[in-house]
Amino acid sequence: MRILLVEDDVLLGRGVAAGLAQAGWVVDWTTDGLDAEAALRTTTSDAIVLDIGLPGMDGLTLLGRTRAAGNPVPVLVLTARDTLADRVAGLDAGGDDYLVKPFELAELQARLRALLRRSKGTADPIIRHGRVALDPASHAVFLDDEPIGLSAREFATLQELMMNAGRVRTRSQLEDSLYGWGEEIGSNTVEVYVHNLRRKLHPDLIRTVRGVGYIIPADA
Amino acid sequence: MIRSLRQRLLAILGGSIVAAWLATAVFSWLDTRQLINEMLDTRLEQSADLLLVLFDRLPQGGRDEDLWHQTGSDADQMIAFRIHAAAVGAPGGAIDRPSLPMERWQPGFRDAVFDGHVWRVFGASDGAGRFVEVALRHDLQESFADRVAAHILHPLWIAIPLLAILVWLSVRWGLRPLQLVIAAVERRGSDDMQPLGVGAAPDEIRPLLDALDRLFARIASLLERERRFVADAAHELRTPLAAIKTHAQVARHERDPDKRAVALDGVIEGADRGTRLVEQLLMLSRLDQDSVAAPRVQVSLSDLVIEIVAEIVPKAAARGIDLGVAEMPGASTDVLGNPDLLGIMLRNLLDNAIRYTPKGSAVTVAVAAGKGGVLIRITDSGPGIPAELRDRVFDRFYRIPGSGQPGSGLGLSIVARIAGLHGGTIRFTDESKGFTVSVMLPVAG
């Protein structure tokens, strides 16, 4: 999962980025509204954590323009303004959720998980596919109710594929969900993660679409 | 001084009406009495004329000179007369005056005493020796006049209570618009600062209502400013608090010791920022009291500049900035002021300069003494402040968007306030390469 964090306060942004990374997400962080808009055009994010007061373009304007462009990405508005009018304005501009600073990191993570879940069209916090169950909150994966140990990136790869069950994820899409801006990507790392997942879970779980990417078929 | 407007109006109106009533009554009284007296005098004249006409038919016995004949039983009607004939038909023409014993006869009106009473007497003669006198008792005449006059005053007595009621009602009705305004003011909530709306108010109250509305508007804008200040302060405090909390929570869940150290550094940095912000807020709130400029002593600005620059040089060096002092004047740079506050002002300005100027460049402070006062110029090679934002940078919490530096937006507000307390002015000027902030401080402070 790839989260775009837009927060102009360097200290807070650093903390939130670290907190989101702890939850296993890939975080792209920008401090400027215009940069954020550019990022939204060039990178596919699964969710946005958006501050309101921003240089370049304020958060509500950015939100309005994102929605006007038809981008349905879940947006969690993060702000120090907590009056009813501020909250209503944030939600009416197209925000999906609202957190007032200072906030609990665990709550931010949980709300983001809920937003991501809903955006993928499911209300069940546990993602299930056949014998495999994945809990995004605890980062646990079960095969026939037995816990399976996965590395962070293996987990992220599996989550990306399971949340998009029935749809092909291209290699570059999978890489996008695994690496932030500026991170070095190994040439065949995705293959390695998929190989490990097949080995640890079961060989038929992930199918290769030759020359394109991978798919977990929808449940029959 | 009567405090109640209603009592005041009642007193004024009541007093005026009583005075007017008294004047009317006294005038009517006197006028009526005079009229009655004139009327009675006319009656005496007519009676005298009648007596002269009837003179020869009167009983001769009645010609006893000093015998007054009285007629009428009613005291009001009581008239006395006496007649006298002097040698009627005597040669020599007209006889003006009676011969003795009717010596006391006089023509026209006079007062005379007989019978134990004062009488109003009218004497007449026909010029041919016939003399008559008709008299009316003075006290009876007076009491009659009084009674008639008192009668005339009866309607005026009715007017008194009627006027009292009308005055009371008029005052009540007249003050009704005032009551409505009072009710309107009383009804409003403590935070309702809308204009009262003076549409229906009388012209006399309108200036008061206009003044009240202007006051409401001033208070509203003051309240709004305070409210915004508190909201801004809370907002500014929330960000470092959120940063502290987030970093602390990251640290708690982080197993990698290096990353945990980074997160803990974030906690400390956030706490430092919050502390600085609170200190600046306290400083601003202290600066809001005008008395804060005391104690005023002679401060040598060149000494102060050297002291503060020396204090900040290590911080500047850490950022790779060459901070220095140029052109110190030989003349005195003393101003009257508070050295602590002036130090804070310089520290804030230098702090801004080294934060916004690029690494490896120079920040130079110059002091000059002139006729108008002492001029401190701080020149850096940073981006400066865009001309259109130069008025706004003194606003509390205002930060130039995208400056990329942490800060509360209070530093220049504090600078401006301290300069203002010392009667100084601040100017921004663009240099060929760089930006200068000038503070002009008058010598007198």
CATH assignment of the domain containing B302:
3.30.565.10
Which residue in A9, A105, A106 is closest to B239 by CB distance?
Answer: A9
B243 touches chain A (CB under 8 A): yes
Considering the domain architecture, whether residues B49 and B78 belong to the same structural domain is answered as yes
B228 touches chain A (CB under 8 A): no
Query: Is residue B213 a contact partner of residue B196, using CB atoms and an 8 Å limit?
Result: yes
Mean pLDDT of B300-311: 89
Range of the domain at B329: 294-441
Chain B interface, best mutation among A101, A103, A108, A112, by max B CB count within 10 A: A101
Per-residue pLDDT, A220: 47
How remote is the C-alpha of A86 from its chain's centroid?
A: 26
Considering the domain architecture, whether residues A51 and A153 belong to the same structural domain is answered as no
Range of the domain at A180: 127-215
Q: Is residue B172 part of a domain?
A: no
Considering the domain architecture, whether residues B302 and B429 belong to the same structural domain is answered as yes
Distance, in Å, from the CA atom of B223 to the CA atom of B164, rounded to the nearest integer, reads 49
Task: Point out the residues of chain A with pLDDT beneath 50.
Answer: 220
Mean pLDDT of B391-396: 79
Q: Is residue A179 part of a domain?
A: yes
Per-residue b/e over A146-173, b at no fewer than 16 CB within 10 Å? eebebeebbbbbbbbbbbbbeeebebeb
Considering the domain architecture, whether residues A172 and A205 belong to the same structural domain is answered as yes
pLDDT tens digits, one per residue of B66-114 = 566 666 555 555 677 777 766 544 444 445 555 444 456 778 888 877 7
Considering the domain architecture, whether residues B434 and B305 belong to the same structural domain is answered as yes
Considering the domain architecture, whether residues A113 and A205 belong to the same structural domain is answered as no
pLDDT tens digits, one per residue of B359-379 = 888 898 988 887 778 889 898
- Select from B237, B254, B287 the last residue of a domain: B287
- Examine the pLDDT at B220 and tell me if it is beyond 90: no
Distance, in Å, from the CA atom of B189 to the CA atom of B436, rounded to the nearest integer, reads 50
Chain B, window 374-433: residues with a beta carbon less than 8 angstroms from a chain A beta carbon: 401-404, 406
- Examine the pLDDT at B185 and tell me if it is beyond 70: yes
Considering the domain architecture, whether residues B279 and B324 belong to the same structural domain is answered as no
Which residue in B236, B241, B250 is closest to A102 by CB distance?
Answer: B241
Distance, in Å, from the CA atom of A120 to the CA atom of A123, rounded to the nearest integer, reads 9
A31 touches chain B (CB under 8 A): yes
Per-residue pLDDT, B90: 42
Considering the domain architecture, whether residues A142 and A53 belong to the same structural domain is answered as no
The DSSP result for B362-402, as a single string, is EEEEEEEE-SS-EEEEEEE-S----GGGTTGGGSTT---TT
Considering the domain architecture, whether residues B9 and B139 belong to the same structural domain is answered as yes
Considering the domain architecture, whether residues A192 and A86 belong to the same structural domain is answered as no
Per-residue pLDDT, A20: 92
CA B108 → CA B17, B34, B42, B125, distances in Å? 43, 18, 11, 10
Q: Is residue B170 part of a domain?
A: no
Q: Is residue A220 part of a domain?
A: no
CATH number at residue A157: 1.10.10.10
Q: Is residue A76 part of a domain?
A: yes
The residue in chain A having the minimum alpha-carbon distance to the alpha carbon of residue B246 is A15
Distance, in Å, from the CA atom of B45 to the CA atom of A49, rounded to the nearest integer, reads 123
Name which of B65, B69, B71 is nearest B85 in CA terms: B65
Q: Is residue A145 part of a domain?
A: yes
**Residue B345 pLDDT grade (very low, low, confident, very high; cuts 50, 70, 90):** very high
Considering the domain architecture, whether residues B132 and B21 belong to the same structural domain is answered as yes
pLDDT tens digits, one per residue of B11-67 = 888 888 889 888 988 898 888 888 888 888 898 888 888 888 887 777 655 455 556
Considering the domain architecture, whether residues B273 and B308 belong to the same structural domain is answered as no
Considering the domain architecture, whether residues B427 and B373 belong to the same structural domain is answered as yes
Considering the domain architecture, whether residues A179 and A206 belong to the same structural domain is answered as yes
**Residue B18: HSE in the Cβ half-sphere, 13 Å Cα cutoff:** 7
- Select from A119, A142, A163 the last residue of a domain: A119
Considering the domain architecture, whether residues B348 and B283 belong to the same structural domain is answered as no
- Select from B221, B252, B287 the last residue of a domain: B287
pLDDT tens digits, one per residue of B252-279 = 988 889 999 999 999 999 999 889 888 8
Mean pLDDT of B283-303: 78
Considering the domain architecture, whether residues A133 and A188 belong to the same structural domain is answered as yes
Q: What is the DSSP letter of B69?
A: E
Distance, in Å, from the CA atom of A112 to the CA atom of A3, rounded to the nearest integer, reads 9
Q: Is residue B308 part of a domain?
A: yes
CA A60 → CA A52, A130, B231, B343, distances in Å? 6, 42, 19, 41
Least confident of B119-123, B214-218, B325-329, B342-346: B325-329
Distance, in Å, from the CA atom of B392 to the CA atom of B261, rounded to the nearest integer, reads 39
Considering the domain architecture, whether residues A105 and A187 belong to the same structural domain is answered as no
- Examine the pLDDT at B304 and tell me if it is beyond 50: yes
Which residue in A10, A12, A56 is closest to B246 by CB distance?
Answer: A12
Query: Is residue B140 a contact partner of residue B12, using CB atoms and an 8 Å limit?
Result: no
Considering the domain architecture, whether residues B152 and B21 belong to the same structural domain is answered as yes
CA B155 → CA B19, B27, B148, B218, distances in Å? 17, 14, 13, 58
Considering the domain architecture, whether residues A145 and A200 belong to the same structural domain is answered as yes
CATH number at residue B251: 1.10.287.130
Mean pLDDT of B136-163: 82
Considering the domain architecture, whether residues A133 and A156 belong to the same structural domain is answered as yes
Considering the domain architecture, whether residues A168 and A192 belong to the same structural domain is answered as yes
Q: Is residue A152 part of a domain?
A: yes
Distance, in Å, from the CA atom of B422 to the CA atom of B415, rounded to the nearest integer, reads 11
Considering the domain architecture, whether residues A12 and A68 belong to the same structural domain is answered as yes
Query: Is residue A134 a contact partner of residue A157, using CB atoms and an 8 Å limit?
Result: no
CATH number at residue A90: 3.40.50.2300
Per-residue pLDDT, B59: 64
Q: Is residue A203 part of a domain?
A: yes
Mean pLDDT of B158-164: 85
Average per-residue pLDDT in chain B? Answer: 81
Q: Is residue B196 part of a domain?
A: no
Please give the tally of structural domains in chain B: 3
CA B110 → CA B115, B124, B170, B370, distances in Å? 16, 12, 53, 105
Per-residue pLDDT, B96: 52
B264 touches chain A (CB under 8 A): no
Distance, in Å, from the CA atom of A207 to the CA atom of A216, rounded to the nearest integer, reads 6
The DSSP result for A6-45, as a single string, is E---HHHHHHHHHHHHHTT-EEEEES-HHHHHHHHHHS--
Considering the domain architecture, whether residues B252 and B331 belong to the same structural domain is answered as no
Please give the tally of structural domains in chain A: 2
Considering the domain architecture, whether residues B27 and B151 belong to the same structural domain is answered as yes
- Tell me the whole-structure pTM to 2 decimals: 0.58
- The set of residues, in sequence order, having a beta carbon less than 8 Å from that of B169 and lying 6+ positions away, is none
